[in-house]
Structure 1
Amino acid sequence: MKTLSKLALAAVLATGVSGLALVAPAVAKDKKEEAAAPGFKLSKPVQAVAFQAQTAIKERNVATAEPLVVQIETAATTDDDKYIAAALRYDLENTKLLLAQTANPKAPLDETPLAKPLDALLAAKSTPAADRGKYLFRRGQLAYNSGQYPVASQYFTQAKAAGYTSGDFDLQLAKVKVQAGDTAGGLADLDRYITAQKAAGQPVPEAYYRFAIATANTKKMAPETLAWMQKYVTAYPNTKVWRDVILQYAFAQNSLAVPDKAQTTDLYRLLRAAGAMPDQAMYEDYANSVYKNGNPYEAAAVLKEGTAAGKIPASSSFSKSLLTAANAAIAREGSLAASEKQALAAKDGKIASSTGDAYLGQNNYAKAAELYRAALSKGGVDASEVNTRLGIALARSGDKAGAQAAFGAVTGTPRAGIAALWSTWTQVGSTAPAPAA
């Protein structure tokens, strides 16, 4: 006994009938002519009761239909007879399931009686080719519901080859392949489907991307997880999706990356650029981190932005004191010209890098890029970190090609992943999420 899943029940309602259409005897003809199925030649014993059996099934009169179907199964001799017998048995068993579900929606349903007529329909020479796909699909569902995932995968694959389609069939096919142990194959199938849908100008549900990300992440497939995250924000570049992806990438319990302080700051910068900063805690952590790293300009800007967005309450004593400290530091430092001069005269790029950060905090992206380039040319700095920030400065200034080149020079984990997400933002940007339907 297996509980009929919502997926399976929907399929019963949608494909639970064989599509068989029997006709009653024509009044104008010999009264001895019995019911027939158009295009089929039935033996007389089957003709005698076939229409009555189908009528009883349509009326959900199981007590009347059962002995009639048994009579047909016993009398069936030809290929067409056997097809009719299997189709009527399939319809009858589906009707029983529907009646049981209606009587007690929470009770478990035994789907096993469907297996035999489905196997008979798939084996029958007279089964219309147009119906094979839905029978293969339904047979796959039986295997899926009983935990036979490799078998289900085979049936679903055959159903697709036979032309079966439904709203989320490709997602189901990918899921069952994953559960059958073929994670790479399932995700590859899903990717091919999405590519085809996009090429045809058809929308792809968010659920497809979310499934792929969760699956790849669960299987510790880091490159694939990141790639699917990039595909997701490319397809849905709104602030909510950006927030979800970045949080899952580095801040969730099962996150893909475990960034250090400097890397976290660059992820905060991405959340901010995407308009996706989530809450007071992150705004304040972001501001505090850059302030402690000698960048009061960015700290002040972040706190003001968080307050204006309503994420930081005006009553926050921490934010008030931090903003006061940041403004005081800005007043003391004054112009960055002296720091810039010192940076360009230094033997290594450390001062140039920190001055570039300060200019970045001021939204002076041209100057920031200039100082980051100086830092890279002098050396003595973390090249991947500086290239990440050079890319950020160029991206924020609108130099997409330059940004992509800088991000492409980033190596290491998780730096390269952070740069990849920034690279995607450079290409697609971010928009407000669509209103709820």
Structure 2
Amino acid sequence: MNPLLDRLQSYPFEKLRKLFSGIHPDPESGHINLGIGEPRHPAPNFIREALTDHLDGLSRYPQTLGSAALRETIASWLARRYAIPAPDPATQILPTLGSREALFALAQTVLDPAGHGIVVCPNPFYQIYEGAALLGGAEPYFVNADPALNFACDYNRVPETVWAKTKLLYTCSPANPTGAVMTLQQWKKLFELSDRYGFIIASDECYSEIYFDEPPLGGLEAARKLGRDGYPRLIMFSSLSKRSNVPGLRSGFVAGDAGIIRKFLLYRTYHGTAMSETVQAASVAAWNDEEHVRENRAKYAAKFREALPILQQAVNVTMPDASFYLWAEVHEKTGLSDTEFARLLYERENVTVLPGSYLAREAHGENPGRNRIRIALVAEPAECLEGILRIAGFVRQTRHP
């Protein structure tokens, strides 16, 4: 067996199952799951109809490159969304089966397993980044999110000896779990580092369409603003899962540096990750429609307006820049660690939240997720409100003296 598999940690939700082992909440209260970031608004009917109208695609093997129609649709969407020239559909865009598998596969494409390189990751982070680094034969290096910097990563603290060995850097904006959005100056810093040391930037932007004010700045958009035509060493990842409430569709794309896309296509041809023509047709319909996305955003915004004032009376939490998460500090008000809080909340209130320490690693003397919880406001409004009210009531009962 591949010995690198032994280096992988359990996924956060496996840790959560172990944390909850032996607990049996009162079933009459009804379980409310605010722990998993799975969109639970209904999938739009027109996407369902597009699937059923193109079932003949199931009788053919799809091409890894995807259809010209899908790539052209994605290019047009990128141009509209980020006010940039449309990327070349033939060389700068590649459909993927959502963003998760692509984030993993890119590392296997660009890392030299004999090179003993470094993959720089934000901390807290999406665990796929770590697994991709380890199984690609590299070492992850974690840069802690700083609450004093709106949870930005301070890359000035990374030693030159680390940058010299870095082959790939993952960034997530809007971030999971903090919701922080990178600024143009932060992008400029990353691009300067990439130019100096030659590493590739993987920009995870799967939460880009869940925002409350101005649309978040994207990696390609930042590159164009800074005169980086051709997007050197930059690949962005996007998905319909959050934008269109279709996580089961497994539809996304990568876009950016044509040279990297060319090698990524070669890898994926062997990897067997071609998107069904049926899903491609539904994806074209989804990327071409913005009305359902605006309605989706409005629904999230209403939930935040209702939930945040209640939660702020109980724990330390602020409005995120974007995404559908609340990143709350719970120890100061309750005296409980994040794992203790999650376990007792489940036992007493039948509400699931995710301990922040499960989303981070001990790095530079701290785990930046410790004593925080991630709350995903993904359920329907009434269920989210009930969950928040139960959390607030739980805190009142356990408030630290």
The bucket for the TM-score relative to the shorter chain is under 0.3
The structure that has the greater radius of gyration is 1
User: Relative to total residues, which structure has the larger strand share, 1 or 2?
Assistant: 2
TM-score, with normalisation over the residues of structure 1? 0.23
Higher relative contact order, chain-length normalized (CA < 8 Å, sep 6+): 2
TM-score, with normalisation over the residues of structure 2? 0.25
User: Relative to total residues, which structure has the larger helix share, 1 or 2?
Assistant: 1
